[in-house]
A and B are shown apart, each in its own frame.
Chain A
């Protein structure tokens, strides 16, 4: 099966919501592969790379960032309608991001402390993942996403195959790489056993515990993980912090963090 050349190229759009742009930058960071990407698709909208906006509909939409304003809660629906295959990229889009820490406080306190005229600020109380608003075709995890996984997803879509983005633990990547386990050999708390693979176990490779940039893996046993950390001497406050970082609004992490919150 050899398809005819001169196929029309797929239109790819990148969309930004509340985020730091780091995930979009991962795409720019693809240096060697960037030309190949530009060759394979028409980049229709990519705020970090160019101001030009090509009209929809779009074959592939990469959505970065979380929903934090009423305007964005509207806008995401328009993007969904204009997109065939919509992929959320990064911890903000898939789990509310670090800004979801506000979900545990009163956001009005921040706006009045920071802005001279808080009345001009229209913001939602919670930072929520894109899936809370629209159906999403694929979620790509990470803070930021792994650029190779990003290319893998685009390439899988273009070639009509299943993307290889496994939802199992970081431990599997850690062992494939041949790293020594920092939990067992150093007594360093590591979130790898409940964290979604994708980073190729970067931190354990540098003798650090996993911070869970990629959020919960499939079937994460947060209860047993937290109990083990307690045995290792991690305080309740630190447990709250560990479960409430980049993926603060991921369901399993949110629930576990609340268990360790001090009631005072």
Chain B
């Protein structure tokens, strides 16, 4: 075995299961904080890990609308689970952040910006759908007129290690959204875990120079054709077992012309307007700004906090909320995700991760709602001009 082959970006390598811990060691040696999957309080969550022993070896999950249960698997795969409630969003676009702080001293007011040098972070175990969600948030926060400084800095300091899916969950539909189960671009490193009775290894794809700097000198071989085939087959198995699907053809036009469909009343009766769907969605980017002071009024803080189109305040203007009904709020969410997002950012706002289905307390299913509208499609001639809320 050639111990130090000169790897390059685009290479497809084999990393033995027994050498996997070396990857984490190298990330840490390169001063990365490593954030990855771990079991906590009955779920697989994303948090800082100290080593390979923190990964959820042997854990999987059963998911369906409004249900998530951790389960023990027969094998010891490190990544044999599907997405948990959290995504990379929590780290790149934090739930709450101070924007500035102001102090009043006698006659002057001084404004202090937070010290926002983010820690270099490696995200290990990002699923292809979530990688695509990051690429979508990149469009929102790093391009165009409105840039998010904090997001940009965190993003620049991040390294993404994708793990392709070899099993799909019951609420997954990335195949329909073209975001998985295999990542094709945008990662620094991508892994596909292969577990046979007697052999545990990873196909390791090098996606960027940053990724290359980590694997350079690692004990890897180039993948053989047979190994590449095995990895491809594993990913195909996931694609063939998608729990859900959505018919994306003409979806945008369909939803927009059905804005007055009476069917929305049905979802309005079921929806709790609790906002869980937007909180867990890896692409939802809405936030609100809050100002606070201390009692003396000598210090003030401005913070940014995740917000949701399911709250009344979200659409509050003089005189009241524009979307007082649950029906109007659900319709806003699904139309933004699947339709108007295209106009804003040139892409769908949904990557098919299935979280909004699993984590909705009453199991409202975005794929079912889209299907229901398609079945009750109003022909263009019937579309009225008014939009009632």
Binding site for B on A (CB under 8 A): 2, 33, 36-37, 39-40, 151-152, 154-156, 158-159, 161-162, 164, 166-169, 171-172, 175-176, 178-181, 183-187, 190, 192-194, 207, 218-221, 223-225, 227-228
Bound Cα distance A152, B301 (Å) = 12
Q: Contact between A171 and B312 (Cβ–Cβ < 8 Å)?
A: no
The residue of chain B having its C-beta at the shortest distance from the C-beta of A197 within the complex is B311
Residues of the A chain whose Cβ atoms lie less than 8 Å from the Cβ of B324: 219
Q: Contact between A180 and B274 (Cβ–Cβ < 8 Å)?
A: no
The residue of chain B having its C-beta at the shortest distance from the C-beta of A232 within the complex is B66
User: From residue 157 to 206 of chain B, which have CB atoms closer than 8 A to chain A?
Assistant: none
Q: Contact between A159 and B297 (Cβ–Cβ < 8 Å)?
A: yes
Q: Contact between A221 and B272 (Cβ–Cβ < 8 Å)?
A: yes
Q: Contact between B361 and A178 (Cβ–Cβ < 8 Å)?
A: no
The residue of chain B having its C-beta at the shortest distance from the C-beta of A37 within the complex is B295
Minimum CB–CB distance for B196 against chain A, Å: 31
Q: Contact between A218 and B104 (Cβ–Cβ < 8 Å)?
A: no
Q: Contact between B274 and A228 (Cβ–Cβ < 8 Å)?
A: no
Residues of the B chain whose Cβ atoms lie less than 8 Å from the Cβ of A190: 361
Q: 1/0 contact trace for B29-53 toward A, CB 8 Å?
A: 0000000000011110100000000
Bound Cα distance A161, B274 (Å) = 27
Q: Does B273 contact A (CB under 8 A)?
A: yes
Residues of the B chain whose Cβ atoms lie less than 8 Å from the Cβ of A155: 292-295, 297
Q: A2-B104, A193-B274 are in contact. Are A224 and B313 (CB under 8 A)?
A: no
Q: Contact between A36 and B361 (Cβ–Cβ < 8 Å)?
A: no
Q: Which of B40, B276, B326, B358: most chain A CB closer than 10 A?
A: B276
Q: A219-B273, A228-B361 are in contact. Are A39 and B296 (CB under 8 A)?
A: yes
Bound Cα distance A171, B279 (Å) = 9
Q: Contact between B104 and A223 (Cβ–Cβ < 8 Å)?
A: no
Q: Contact between B272 and A224 (Cβ–Cβ < 8 Å)?
A: yes
Binding site for A on B (CB under 8 A): 40-43, 45, 66-70, 85-86, 90, 95-96, 104, 106-107, 109, 269-276, 279-280, 290-297, 305-306, 308, 310-313, 324-326, 358-359, 361-362
Minimum CB–CB distance for A106 against chain B, Å: 35
The residue of chain B having its C-beta at the shortest distance from the C-beta of A222 within the complex is B272
Minimum CB–CB distance for B95 against chain A, Å: 4
Q: Contact between B280 and A175 (Cβ–Cβ < 8 Å)?
A: yes
Q: Contact between A225 and B295 (Cβ–Cβ < 8 Å)?
A: no
Bound Cα distance A14, B106 (Å) = 32
Bound Cα distance A76, B67 (Å) = 48
Bound Cα distance A186, B361 (Å) = 12
Residues of the A chain whose Cβ atoms lie less than 8 Å from the Cβ of B361: 171, 181, 183-184, 190, 192-193, 225, 228
Bound Cα distance A178, B35 (Å) = 15
Cβ-neighbour of A178 out of B45, B107, B325 (below 8 A): B45
Q: Contact between B326 and A172 (Cβ–Cβ < 8 Å)?
A: no
Q: Which of B90, B272, B280: most chain A CB closer than 10 A?
A: B272
Cβ-neighbour of B326 out of A156, A169, A221 (below 8 A): A221
Residues of the B chain whose Cβ atoms lie less than 8 Å from the Cβ of A171: 274-276, 279, 361
Bound Cα distance A236, B48 (Å) = 43
Residues of the A chain whose Cβ atoms lie less than 8 Å from the Cβ of B86: 178
Residues of the A chain whose Cβ atoms lie less than 8 Å from the Cβ of B295: 33, 36-37, 39-40, 151, 154-155, 158
Residues of the B chain whose Cβ atoms lie less than 8 Å from the Cβ of A159: 293, 297
Bound Cα distance A184, B271 (Å) = 15
The residue of chain B having its C-beta at the shortest distance from the C-beta of A218 within the complex is B312
Other than A167-B312, A193-B276, A224-B270, give 11 A-B pairs with Cβ distance below 8 A: A151-B295, A168-B310, A171-B275, A172-B274, A180-B85, A181-B68, A181-B361, A185-B69, A221-B269, A224-B269, A227-B362
Q: Contact between B312 and A194 (Cβ–Cβ < 8 Å)?
A: no
Bound Cα distance A168, B311 (Å) = 6
The residue of chain A having its C-beta at the shortest distance from the C-beta of B273 within the complex is A219
Q: Contact between A183 and B66 (Cβ–Cβ < 8 Å)?
A: yes
Q: Contact between A169 and B273 (Cβ–Cβ < 8 Å)?
A: yes
Residues of the B chain whose Cβ atoms lie less than 8 Å from the Cβ of A219: 273, 312, 324-326
Q: A36-B294, A176-B95, A178-B45 are in contact. Are A184 and B68 (CB under 8 A)?
A: yes
Residues of the B chain whose Cβ atoms lie less than 8 Å from the Cβ of A152: 292
- CB<8 Å pairs between A and B, sample of 30: A2-B104, A36-B295, A40-B295, A40-B296, A155-B295, A155-B297, A164-B291, A168-B275, A168-B311, A169-B272, A169-B273, A172-B274, A175-B280, A176-B96, A176-B279, A181-B85, A183-B66, A184-B66, A184-B68, A185-B42, A185-B68, A185-B70, A187-B67, A192-B361, A219-B273, A221-B272, A221-B273, A224-B269, A227-B362, A228-B66
Bound Cα distance A181, B40 (Å) = 12
Minimum CB–CB distance for A182 against chain B, Å: 8
Minimum CB–CB distance for B92 against chain A, Å: 15
Minimum CB–CB distance for B364 against chain A, Å: 10
Q: A161-B293, A228-B362 are in contact. Are A180 and B271 (CB under 8 A)?
A: no
Residues of the B chain whose Cβ atoms lie less than 8 Å from the Cβ of A164: 290-292
Minimum CB–CB distance for A126 against chain B, Å: 29
The residue of chain B having its C-beta at the shortest distance from the C-beta of A177 within the complex is B95
Residues of the B chain whose Cβ atoms lie less than 8 Å from the Cβ of A166: 311, 313
Bound Cα distance A24, B305 (Å) = 29
Residues of the B chain whose Cβ atoms lie less than 8 Å from the Cβ of A218: 311-312
Minimum CB–CB distance for A93 against chain B, Å: 22
The residue of chain B having its C-beta at the shortest distance from the C-beta of A172 within the complex is B275
Residues of the B chain whose Cβ atoms lie less than 8 Å from the Cβ of A40: 295-296
Bound Cα distance A186, B41 (Å) = 9
Minimum CB–CB distance for B94 against chain A, Å: 10
Q: Contact between A176 and B305 (Cβ–Cβ < 8 Å)?
A: yes
Q: A172-B308, A172-B311 are in contact. Are A161 and B291 (CB under 8 A)?
A: yes
